[in-house]
Chains A and B, each alone.
Chain A
Amino acid sequence: MNRITNHQLYRLIAAHFAEIIREPAVIFWGIIFPILMAWGLGIAFTQKGEVHFKMAIIKTTNDKDTLHETKLAGYLTANGVKKDSMYSILLKNEKLGDVSLAFFETSWAKAFTMLKKGEISLIVEDGTTDTKYHFDPASGEAKTAYQLVSNLSSNGSASYSANQTSIEPLTLKGTRYVDFLIPGLLAMGIMMSCTWGISYTIIDRRSKKLLRRMVATPMRKSNFLLALITARFSMNVAEALLLFMFARLYFGTTVQGSWPALIVLFLAGNIAFSGISILISSHTSNPEVGNGIINALVTPMMVVSGIFFSYHNFPDWTIPIIRYLPLTMIADSIRSIFNEGAGFIDVWREALVLTSIGLVSFVAGLKIFKWY
């Protein structure tokens, strides 16, 4: 036993591990924060509750007592609850969920300010005889609000509240937003933990001349890197397990596919990002430069790789590129195992590509690695 605890690889792993677990911020950002994010986003996008749309309504004359003679004005006067200068309407539907609409009666100037602040998505110009709608056609929320309001003014509340027999709401596991989110967060956890945990640690220790001090001893350089990767991998396992257990208990998340495939993929993801982390931290000794390099790598992938929302909204020509980003490959594959019942046969290619990316990056990183 003493021989093992005196071995340099054991002591290096123990040292890296102690550095991680003795830093309270690491525990918060590595473990608690992803769980909070899963909880917050899962609640926000999964719970069936009222959907709110807020809009401004502008009268084009100075008549303050009525909302003119348009159909919308008539509808609001008859069905809306008026409080101060706001009309509110509640539309009920068991299948679609309830929708609340708030109309703020205001001026053009104030309406534009509210639009710029994101407080409203639609401006309704209510004339004496007709209604005009002002909104950004690129905004899905604005388009939905427009369709709802224009439908209401033409057909009344029944247009929304009718019992549409053609609609069958999906409540299957694997189709909820949280089922999309949790695999994405697991994938993102691997990337963030490796890049910050490995790259930043290397750059920081290089800047403090600790690497130089260490290589002036008979320490095996490969042991140093192996220990850093091992300690980080252990933390990644703990972080992923805790996040999964939370999702299992709170949201009832299940793994419909193969656990061995999931484990292989998790390992491949860690190899990929460990290798990439060694490569990107192979040269600089300036932590601020390191910060920039890490951000330049992780931020685009976090945005485009479909962690929080599907990447299929991006232009068609970008999809083949996005699909082969390491983070996308991990997120898509974990998602297919979680939600589509995928097995090893469905994800082995991704696991192989991820492992290759990791090994090639590791070897390239070592070739140009600066120890001092």
Chain B
Amino acid sequence: MTDLEYIVDVRHVKKSFKEVQAVKGVSLKIRQGEFLALLGPNGAGKTTLVEMIEGIQHPDEGEIFIEGKQWKNHEHELHQVIGLSLQETRFMDKLTAYETMRLFASFYKLDTLRVDEVFKLIGLEEKKKAYVNNLSGGQRQRLALGVAVLNKPKILLLDEPTTGLDPNARREIWNILLELKKAHNTSLLLTSHYMEEAEYLCDRIVIMDQGTILAEGSLEEILKLGGHHSLDELFITLTGRHIYE
């Protein structure tokens, strides 16, 4: 049985690669319209967990439900409700931003009206005709975000969407995300190295290390755990490391 109050429902999921146990029995739920940050140092198991939610890795044990459905037998439907932006994705260099967006729009059978709407949302209207390889880092990330929200996804999975961007470009991305939340009640699962990003954007924060969840709750709730003043402090207490290590 699944609980439809949650758009994502991860239950006791385990995943190993050869000898390494990447995820050790994690459970996680995300409500419709909720923004959740998944924080953890490199090797914490965040990417493996997100890849399992995304459907490209299969759990060794446990179950994952998205909108009450599992990946097996529902691949086509689930692709319609998920939006994705990967940190390292590079689109085709010699396509324009507009052609890139139209290409992805065609996968969802969307017309040019939706493409124009998304360009307005991400503020890249003036760069429609620019080749992807002529866009700045921030503009490429906005394009990637635009591609991710084309299908008005119910759940958006963003893997470090602002890594490497300057503070202004980062804030532009945050504003787009908050607008999405307001307009479409989109849910968000975000992995990040930036505490500030989690604090600013997310309703709930999950801290992971070594394949397990160490702390979970709203910013206030998890800071109360041991009377910390900042996420940085809490993170060091829990993991013995800085988040960027």
A-side residues, CB < 8 A to B, are 2, 6-8, 10-12, 14-15, 18-19, 22-23, 205, 208-210, 212-219, 372
Since A6-B111, A219-B107 are in contact, a sample of 8 more A-B pairs with Cβ atoms closer than 8 Å, ordered by chain A residue number, is: A11-B102, A19-B93, A22-B131, A208-B90, A209-B88, A210-B89, A212-B89, A217-B151
Total B residues in contact with A, Cβ cutoff 8 Å? 32
Tell me if B178 is interfacial: C-beta within 8 Å of chain A. no
Tell me if B135 is interfacial: C-beta within 8 Å of chain A. no
Cβ B95 vs Cβ A372 within 8 A: no
Tell me if B109 is interfacial: C-beta within 8 Å of chain A. yes
Partner of A22, one of B56, B94, B109: B94
Cβ B111 vs Cβ A7 within 8 A: no
Cβ A208 vs Cβ B88 within 8 A: yes
CA distance A347 to B60 in the complex (A): 53
Cβ B104 vs Cβ A217 within 8 A: yes
Chain B residues near A7 (CB-CB < 8 A): 106
The stretch from B9-17, B76-84, B224-232, B236-244 touching chain A is B76-84
Partner of A213, one of B89, B111, B112, B131: B89
Tell me if B200 is interfacial: C-beta within 8 Å of chain A. no
Chain A residues near B111 (CB-CB < 8 A): 2, 6
Residue of B92, B111, B131 contacting most chain A CB atoms (<10 Å): B92
Cβ B80 vs Cβ A218 within 8 A: yes
Chain B residues near A10 (CB-CB < 8 A): 106
Cβ B107 vs Cβ A8 within 8 A: yes
Residue of A8, A205, A213, A217 contacting most chain B CB atoms (<10 Å): A217
Question: Which A residue's beta carbon lies closest to that of B91?
Answer: A210
Shortest distance between the CB of A271 and any CB in chain B (Å): 25
Chain B residues near A18 (CB-CB < 8 A): 94-95, 99
Cβ A212 vs Cβ B99 within 8 A: no
- A7-B106, A216-B84, A218-B107 given as contacts; is B92 within 8 A of A372 (CB)? no
CA distance A14 to B98 in the complex (A): 13
CA distance A22 to B93 in the complex (A): 10
Instruction: Give 18 A-B contacts (CB < 8 Å), ordered by A residue.
Output: A8-B103, A8-B106, A10-B106, A18-B94, A19-B93, A19-B94, A19-B95, A22-B94, A23-B94, A208-B90, A210-B90, A216-B56, A216-B84, A217-B79, A217-B108, A218-B79, A218-B80, A218-B107
Cβ B99 vs Cβ A15 within 8 A: yes
Shortest distance between the CB of B49 and any CB in chain A (Å): 16
Chain A residues near B105 (CB-CB < 8 A): 6
CA distance A213 to B99 in the complex (A): 16
- A19-B94, A23-B94, A209-B89 given as contacts; is B54 within 8 A of A216 (CB)? yes
Chain A residues near B108 (CB-CB < 8 A): 217-218
Question: Which B residue's beta carbon lies closest to that of A19?
Answer: B94
B-side residues, CB < 8 A to A, are 54-56, 76, 79-80, 82, 84, 86, 88-95, 99, 102-112, 131, 147, 151
Ordered nearest first, which 5 A-B pairs have the shortest CB separation? A208-B90, A11-B106, A217-B107, A22-B94, A219-B107
Chain B residues near A213 (CB-CB < 8 A): 84, 86, 89, 147
Question: Which A residue's beta carbon lies closest to that of B100?
Answer: A15
CA distance A14 to B96 in the complex (A): 12
Question: Which B residue's beta carbon lies closest to that of A207?
Answer: B90
Chain A residues near B93 (CB-CB < 8 A): 19
Question: Which B residue's beta carbon lies closest to that of A219?
Answer: B107
Chain A residues near B95 (CB-CB < 8 A): 15, 18-19
Partner of B103, one of A2, A15, A208: A15
Cβ B56 vs Cβ A372 within 8 A: yes
Chain A residues near B131 (CB-CB < 8 A): 22
CA distance A6 to B107 in the complex (A): 9
CA distance A12 to B102 in the complex (A): 10
Cβ A210 vs Cβ B102 within 8 A: no
Residue of B76, B104, B106, B151 contacting most chain A CB atoms (<10 Å): B106
Cβ A212 vs Cβ B103 within 8 A: no
CA distance A209 to B105 in the complex (A): 18
Shortest distance between the CB of B93 and any CB in chain A (Å): 8
Chain B residues near A8 (CB-CB < 8 A): 103, 106-107, 109
Cβ B103 vs Cβ A11 within 8 A: yes
Chain B residues near A22 (CB-CB < 8 A): 94, 131
CA distance A219 to B108 in the complex (A): 8
- A8-B107, A11-B106 given as contacts; is B88 within 8 A of A216 (CB)? no
CA distance A8 to B109 in the complex (A): 8
Chain B residues near A2 (CB-CB < 8 A): 111
Chain A residues near B110 (CB-CB < 8 A): 6
Chain A residues near B76 (CB-CB < 8 A): 218
Chain A residues near B92 (CB-CB < 8 A): 15, 19, 205, 210
CA distance A298 to B110 in the complex (A): 41
